[in-house]
Chain A
Amino acid sequence: MIRATCRALAAILFTLLVFVVWQAAIDSGLVNRIFVAAPLSAIDVIAERAANGTLWTTTAATAQRLLAGWIAAVGIAMLLGTAVGNSRAAHQYLSPTLEFFRPLPASAVIPVAVLFFGLTTKMSTFVIAFGALWPVLLSAIHGFVSVPRELREVASTLEMGRLRYIFTIAIPSASVDIMAGLRISLSLALILTVVTEMQASLPGLGYELFLAQRTYRSADLYAGLMTLGVFGFLINQALLLTERRLMRWKLA
């Protein structure tokens, strides 16, 4: 407990040190404040947005878009991963196609998504889902394929049906890999949410960054970056807490 507290304090102190050095670099003229805003200026902008409510509405819009795309990604990835990881036939039929799509950068899919869905939230959800499903899919396949032989033998001995095997043995066994995939996928989903908001002028944190860049408001730009950083940190921590709670048996 004490060690954890010390570690947390050390992390906070390091972050504060970074801010102090950054502010000093701006105040001393070492860095041009037109292109790099002072952290205090960025924090002022965040405080102003918090006071007038725009911080919460834009963050909520981004969060909604992120969750919609990420949940779609996880759902599709788990379905495909379970099929490919637990069925030789599915592995043979689906793997070549999946290997074709896997290296495609999600940003390259944006023009196709725009053609089908226009510059809408649906386009954003599609791109986020496409880009974010691969870490979960690959980690799920790896997790399922790596189920220990002894556990498979137990399932065979007990004459377990396939579905029962998947839910009682395969998924718990693969859960560590799947959780790792989920965390990587969530970060990717956030990046793609911001990119699609910029691309389609959809209200949210990404669009605020885009407008700040267009009007050369560096304080607003860095305020947006800080907000995104904090947002990303918080959602990652939420996922970590969920992992610790759900997998207490595994991490013990």
Chain B
Amino acid sequence: MTLRTILATLVVSCALVAGASASNVKVNIGYVTAADYMPAFASKENGCFAANGIDAHFTRIPVTTNMPAALIADTLQIGAQTATLFLPAVENGLELVAVAGGTRILQGNETLSLVTSTKFQVGRGADVIGKKIGMPGINSVADVVFRKWLKNEGVDVSKVTIIETPFPQMKDLIKSGQIDGAIAVEPVRSMIVNEGVGQRAAVEYHTAVAKDSILAFWTASRKWADKNPQSIAGFRNCLKDAVAWIGANRDRAREIEKQYLGFNTPVRPDWNADIKDEDFAIYVDMNLELGVMRKRVDLKNLVWVQR
């Protein structure tokens, strides 16, 4: 083989590799520390994203409230959100759309609950009057649904002190008595209960409000979604396949979970990549009732569809 042939082969190989990389769309995906987003992690690790032309890069974000701004600024292309943060952003003019489902919260498999100190038990809304409850975010889905539950129970919300408390601090603040309880997700919930610091409430407040509702989902800016319909389709298909893959590859899935979240959760969320406009109706009503939103948004524009 002559030197010319070797060089020609090298140049052609480089061109092919560059071409293949160029056809992959770089997608920065923002997530918060929760097992709800496992199908996305699995889709990257099992090669599904790459096979669908998605060059996925994950970024852990401390709080979901930063997600809308990051999506509009194109720092992230896809971001994890919940309805009570997504809807006010859309109401106030941010051009965001839901692109895929993440999890639903179903009665009997609640992944977040009210946990309280062992000094008192909560069986109804009146039991938290005068108490300080730690919330993972003001106006988060945990907060809004909790306040809706209190209203349904006939409790004046102003009689309960709601304090924004990051998940990692919840156990220590309950233990020291600075808060009386908190809305905790796994594994924080199990940590609080298993270490004897607190106990789960006797009533599951979220499913008391809605037996089956969307919890976490994926969003993007409408501008980016319209420009990348193939990536959205690939993202959705991979998430759907990932749920079955996780079930069939439990050990590998636990490794991936530990890699992305730093822990393994004892409870398996109800992952669901499907999402419909109607999923947001209950949250629009709640947000309006509780003053989180001031006007209705058009449900038909919330889930991205290729035009």
Residues of A at under 8 Å CB distance from B?
33-34, 114-115, 118-119, 200-201, 210-211, 213-218
Is B138 part of the binding interface, using a Cβ–Cβ cutoff of 8 Å? yes
Contacts A/B (CB < 8 Å), 19 sampled = A34-B93, A34-B94, A114-B178, A115-B176, A118-B173, A118-B178, A119-B165, A119-B179, A201-B164, A210-B138, A211-B139, A214-B65, A214-B137, A214-B138, A215-B293, A216-B68, A216-B89, A216-B92, A216-B93
Per-residue CB proximity of B141-168 to A under 8 Å, as 1/0?
0000000000000000000001111000
- Chain A nearest CB from B47 CB (Å) reads 37
Question: Which residue of the partner chain B has the closest CB to A117?
Answer: B178
A84→B138 CA distance, assembly (Å): 45
Q: Given contacts A118-B178, A201-B164, is CB(A211)–CB(B92) below 8 Å? A: no
Judge whether B269 is part of the interface by a CB distance below 8 angstroms: no
B contact residues around A200 at 8 Å (CB): 163
A215 vs B87: C-alpha distance when bound (angstroms): 9
Q: CB-defined interface of B73-89 with A at 8 Å, one 1/0 digit per residue?
A: 00000000000010011
Q: Which residues of A contact B178 (CB under 8 A)?
A: 114, 118-119
**B106 — which chain A residues lie within 8 A by C-beta?**
none
Residue from A201, A210, A213, A215 in contact with B163 in the complex, judged by beta carbons closer than 8 Å: A201
* Bound CA span A33–B92, Å: 10
**CB of B10 to closest CB in A, whole Å:** 48
Return the contact of A201 from the options B92, B162, B176 (Cβ within 8 A): B162
Number of A-B contacts (CB under 8 A): 46
Q: Which A residues touch B243, using CB under 8 A?
A: none
Chain B residue numbers with a CB within 8 Å of A214 are 65, 85, 88, 137-139
B163 touches A216 (CB 8 A): no
Binding site for A on B (CB under 8 A): 65, 68, 72, 85, 88-89, 91-94, 132, 137-139, 162-165, 173, 176, 178-179, 292-293
Is B163 a contact of A34 with CB atoms below 8 Å? no
Task: Tell me if B138 and A216 are in contact (CB < 8 A).
Answer: no
CB distance from A128 to the nearest CB of B (A): 19
What residues on A are CB-neighbors of B139 within 8 Å? Answer: 211, 214-215
- Shortest CB distance B81–A (Å): 12
Q: Which residues of B contact A33 (CB under 8 A)?
A: 93
Shortest beta-carbon distance, B32 to chain A, in Å? 15
Q: Tell me the bound Cα distance from A202 to B94 in angstroms.
A: 28
Contact: B138 with A34, CB < 8 Å? no
Question: A214-B85, A214-B88 provided; 9 other pairs, C-beta below 8 A?
Answer: A34-B92, A34-B93, A118-B179, A119-B178, A201-B163, A211-B138, A211-B139, A215-B292, A217-B92
- Chain B residue contacts of A118, Cβ below 8 A: 173, 176, 178-179
Report Cα–Cα, A161/B136, bound state, in Å: 59
A216 to B287: give the CA distance in the assembly, Å.
14
Contacts of A34 in B (CB 8 A): 72, 92-94
Provide the residues of chain A in CB contact with B293, threshold 8 Å: 215
Chain B nearest CB from A13 CB (Å) reads: 33
- Give chain A residues whose Cβ lies under 8 Å from the Cβ of B179: 118-119
Q: Which partner residue on chain B sits nearest A212 by CB separation?
A: B92
Q: Which residues of A contact B92 (CB under 8 A)?
A: 34, 215-218
Q: How far is the CA of A211 from the CA of B132 in the complex (A)?
A: 19
- Compute how far the CA of A140 lies from the CA of B202 in the bound complex, rounded to whole angstroms: 58
**Is there contact, CB below 8 Å, between A216 and B292?**
no
Q: Inside 8 A of B176's CB, which chain A residues have their CB? A: 115, 118
Bound complex: CA A217 to CA B164 (Å): 19
Q: List residues of chain A with CB within 8 A of the CB of B88.
A: 214-217
With A and B bound together, what is the CA distance between A33 and B163 in angstroms? Answer: 31
